[in-house]
Amino acid sequence: MTASSTTTTPTEFIRFAEELADASRALIRTRFRRNADVEMKPDNTPVTTTDLEVETLIRNMIADRYPMHGVIGEEHPASAASADHVWVIDPIDGTRSFIAGRPVFGTLIALTVDAVPVLGVVDIPITEERWVGAKGHATLLNGKVASTRECPTAAGAILLATSPEYLDGDAALPFGNVAEAARFTIYDAGTQAYGLVASGHADIMIAARYGIVDYLAAVPVIEGAGGVMRDWNGAPLTLHSGDRFVAVGDAALLPETLQLLGRAETKGLAHVERA
């Protein structure tokens, strides 16, 4: 019987995930605004030596503690990705912000059991904010319970979105429907956006062209705070999900948001503010 058949994530995993976040935060803070060495990956996205070193550090800690667990990371090849327990990590989510000295990037750490995310850490090293969510536990922000807020309609919602360059092509029209309906939209919200929804400061987050390393950690965080995360078709997010997701702080807002994402027409973007 695997842990996914229980209703609560073991506290030993939660403590260990925080140990991983402690170690990554300590290293990242020594490198912030220190003229990072930057290379471009084949997909034309940047990577720094700090990205690589932080992921190696986390992988080594996992291998030492749980050698039978798998790891999927942003910067190195996956290991034992078909294991029952798989850690999904992004050492620096928002590398461009890290390079530019913009402190909204973070470290994302998820644990999946039978492909389902049961534990997530969203750590913002520079602002020292850490959201921890786990199945069967309330989400915590720096040790205190975090809660989403009531917002049952898109008309009253603050929408956080990824960079506009990721919301182009066939994602543009569906996203535009939500942006048109929302109270206002903020782009390039950064890794912090997950925590802002979980803590009731914003109501919707939408992204496209994201990998699982970029969002699985947020699922237990947002859902443990009272929200919901799904793909654009309304399906739960797993190791096998695609590159689009929507997160809402109020579950009552999900049907309208999905309906807007499913519409074929748009009136264009409105009420847009750029972070």
| 90 in a known ligand binding site | yes
Contacts of 60 (CB under 8 A, 6+ apart): none
| 214 in a known ligand binding site | yes
Q: Which two tokens stand for residue 92?
A: 């620096």
Amino acid in the structure at residue 133: G
d(CA 183, CA 233): 23
Neighbours of 238 (CB within 10 A): 15
For the chain, the first-to-last Cα distance in angstroms comes to: 46
Kindly write down the DSSP assignment for every residue of 116-164, as one continuous string.
Answer: EEEEEEEEETTTTEEEEEETTS--EETTEE-------SGGG-EEEE--G
* Whether 120 contacts 133, CB under 8 Å: yes
Q: Which of 46, 48, 52, 20 is nearest to 32 (CA)?
A: 48
| 74 in a known ligand binding site | yes
d(CA 21, CA 214): 16
| 123 in a known ligand binding site | no
| 93 in a known ligand binding site | yes
d(CA 107, CA 75): 13
Binding-site residues, in ranges, read 74, 90, 92-93, 214
Binding-site residues for Mg(2+), in ranges, read 74, 90, 92-93, 214
